[in-house]
Amino acid sequence: MKTKLAIYLITATSAYANLIDLTPGGFTIDPNGGNIPLAYTRALSQLHFDTSLSPIFGRGPWLIDGQYLSSNLFDTSPTSAADIGWNLIGQPDGNWLTYVVLFGQTASGEGIYNVYGVSGLRFRDDLEHVTIDEISVINGIAFYGLNPNTNVAETGLTFTLFVLGLVSLFGATSLKGKHT
């Protein structure tokens, strides 16, 4: 039973790609350099793959022809919600999508952002719904990620923490059985 639970937990978190809203409700950037969320600075420090822009910026859609990344922002703008998708399987550089950054404006015209973290595999077989705060108009959606061939190697800390977590999980279930 414990082995099945551990296998389920491992595969459930990695078998299905999804988005995690890292800045719920969005955020504004203080012009004086105040509180910028860590998720935003991490996203911008990674490779910028492409940006889907609203037609208010003029020319046609910039997104990579739907070959690896897709968005309906150009077709639905102005909107407070959009759908995105990705399939980086077969992408020649080996890139992985890790962050999606939305930028737009509030009803008062103030710039607002929202960051989504991407977890899971290199593809999304159906579209994900994204929004800044359900109200603000989305002006663009930027896609960021990593290339495992160019990033710093893992030091082993993640694996160590994973093993410690499994030991704790099994230890907790063993103790529970002894106290009943």
Higher pLDDT, residue 66 or 82: 82
Q: How confident is the model at residue 119 (pLDDT cuts 50, 70, 90)?
A: confident
Model confidence pLDDT, tens digit, residues 87-104: 888 777 788 889 999 999
Peptide bond into 78 cis (omega under 30): yes
pLDDT at 170 over 80: no
Is residue 73 assigned to a domain?
A: yes
Q: Please, what is the average pLDDT of the chain?
A: 77
Is residue 164 assigned to a domain?
A: no
Range of the domain at 57: 18-153
- Alpha carbon distance 142, 43 (integer Å): 10
- Whole-number pLDDT of residue 137: 95
pLDDT at 11 over 60: no
Please, are residues 37 and 27 in contact by the beta-carbon 8 Å criterion? yes
Mean pLDDT value of segment 1-18: 48
Mean pLDDT value of segment 66-83: 85
pLDDT at 179 over 80: no
pTM (two decimals):
0.70
Is residue 6 assigned to a domain?
A: no
Is residue 40 assigned to a domain?
A: yes
Is residue 91 assigned to a domain?
A: yes
Is residue 160 assigned to a domain?
A: no
- Whole-number pLDDT of residue 13: 40
Please, are residues 113 and 152 in contact by the beta-carbon 8 Å criterion? no
Higher pLDDT, residue 67 or 21: 21
Q: How many domains does the chain have?
A: 1
pLDDT at 42 over 90: yes
Q: Integer distance in angstroms from the first to the last C-alpha of the chain? A: 18
